Amino acid sequence: MRNRPRGAAAARGQALVHRVQTATPPDRDRALDALRAVAILGVVLGHWLVTALITDSGTLHGASPLQRMPQLAPVSWLFQTLAVFFLVGGEVAARSHAAARARGTAYRHWLHSRLGRLFRPVAAVLTVWTVATVVMLAAGVGLDTVHSLDKLVLSPLWFLLVFAALTAATPLTARLHPFWPCAVVVLVDLLRFGPGAPDWVGWLNLPAGWLVPYCLGAARARGAAQRPTTGWALLLGGAAATAALVLCAGYPASMVGVPGAAVSNLNPPTLAAVAFGLAQCGAALLLRGPLARALRRPAAWAAVALLNLSAMTVFLWHQTAMMAVTATAWFLAGPLPGLHTLPDGPSWMLARLAWLPVFAAALLLCRAAFAAYEHRRPRTRERGGSGAGAPGPVVREDGPARSAAMPRA
């Protein structure tokens, strides 16, 4: 009798794997979905590892272990995966736009469909956090605490604006060589770190910096950058350039923002971040073959496909999940190591690692509650095509949910 629930769960799992496998077209580029999933997991784990909520004189505010343990900078090299996401996004968008043109779909309908899938889930998180903010203020929670919590949830949304802008520009960026936005980044850094340049100059790198991997992905969609030598050149060249910029030019070693640091490699992107992103893109290109072979296994592919189905939900709610665990634990047990204590030593990191499964469980609850907003049917179908905006099987032509987007500042 005890084995029946386990057997039933195993049968349901096998049925789900079979559904995903049978719904996947034979020519599906599974490695592309795997790279997207890696980028999403990198964002989530990176935020969970380098973000802490601590109290100081009754005020809750964020803190980072990178501020007090700079030797942990290599952690940011593993989990700052934005370049891989923009690489995948550029390739997927360029392919999707080319397919839409072939069907005779107007640009405005193609863009409306893609941006709708990108922003529909945002309404849910904004609604919940608007209500939560009003409730906290009405309950007498301090403005500084409310600001810290809202910032953790809302600040990563900058990514959606940049990604939406690049998506809208796909007809142009699909023809743009990555060299040109990279040249803009070089020029901007020379100006911003030179004497007398205004601060706003650096923000020109926000679109230019992420255009580099986006254009590289678009180039792959039109058949360029397919050789293994391209991957090795990007990996080795990008890594060498990053090392030179950090060791000789004074760029920060951390590839994410560190509170109190004079310069952030991400806010806005620096040349070091772009060089590091090119190295990541090179590694991603080299991994596509091994990933494609590994994902021939139905169970492995089902895990990747299901994560992509809830990509936006995972991105939008992972900070909320962490904060919910933090608040609940404080209410039930008071300050706990790795959760409420100052991130100032290895013991904090070990304790934080132990909390990751709890954060993941809370995120699964958020996914169960809000994933429907990601898969909601659009009201209209695209004109001139076969309803590319309408729901289809578990796996679709340009992404299992065609809404995967997400990253961190």
Highest mean pLDDT among 12-26, 47-61, 217-231, 271-285: 271-285
| 314 close to 40: Cβ distance less than 8 angstroms | yes
pLDDT of amino acid 381 = 45
Of 47-51, 58-62, 120-124, 310-314, which gets the smallest average pLDDT?
A: 58-62
Of residues 44 and 199, which shows the higher confidence score? 44
Asked if pLDDT for residue 135 goes beyond 60, the answer is yes
pLDDT of amino acid 262 = 86
Percent of the chain scoring above 90 in pLDDT? 53
pLDDT of amino acid 397 = 43
pLDDT band at 21 (very low <50, low <70, confident <90, very high): confident
**pLDDT tens digits for range 349-407:** 999 999 999 999 999 999 999 888 877 655 544 444 333 333 333 444 444 434 333 33
Percent of the chain scoring above 70 in pLDDT? 90
In this structure, how many other beta carbons lie within 10 angstroms of the beta carbon of residue 56? 10
Mean pLDDT in the chain?
Answer: 86
pLDDT band at 340 (very low <50, low <70, confident <90, very high): confident
Asked if pLDDT for residue 248 goes beyond 90, the answer is yes
Asked if pLDDT for residue 152 goes beyond 80, the answer is yes
Instruction: Please name every residue paired with 63 in a beta bridge, in sequence order, or none if there are none.
Output: 52
Of residues 60 and 210, which shows the higher confidence score? 210
Residue identified by tokens 């990996």 is 235
Tokens of 10: 């195993």
The CA-based dihedral angle spanning residues 232, 233, 238, 240, taken in that order and rounded to the nearest 10 degrees: 90
Give the mean model confidence (pLDDT) for residues 239-255: 95
**pLDDT tens digits for range 251-264:** 999 998 888 888 89
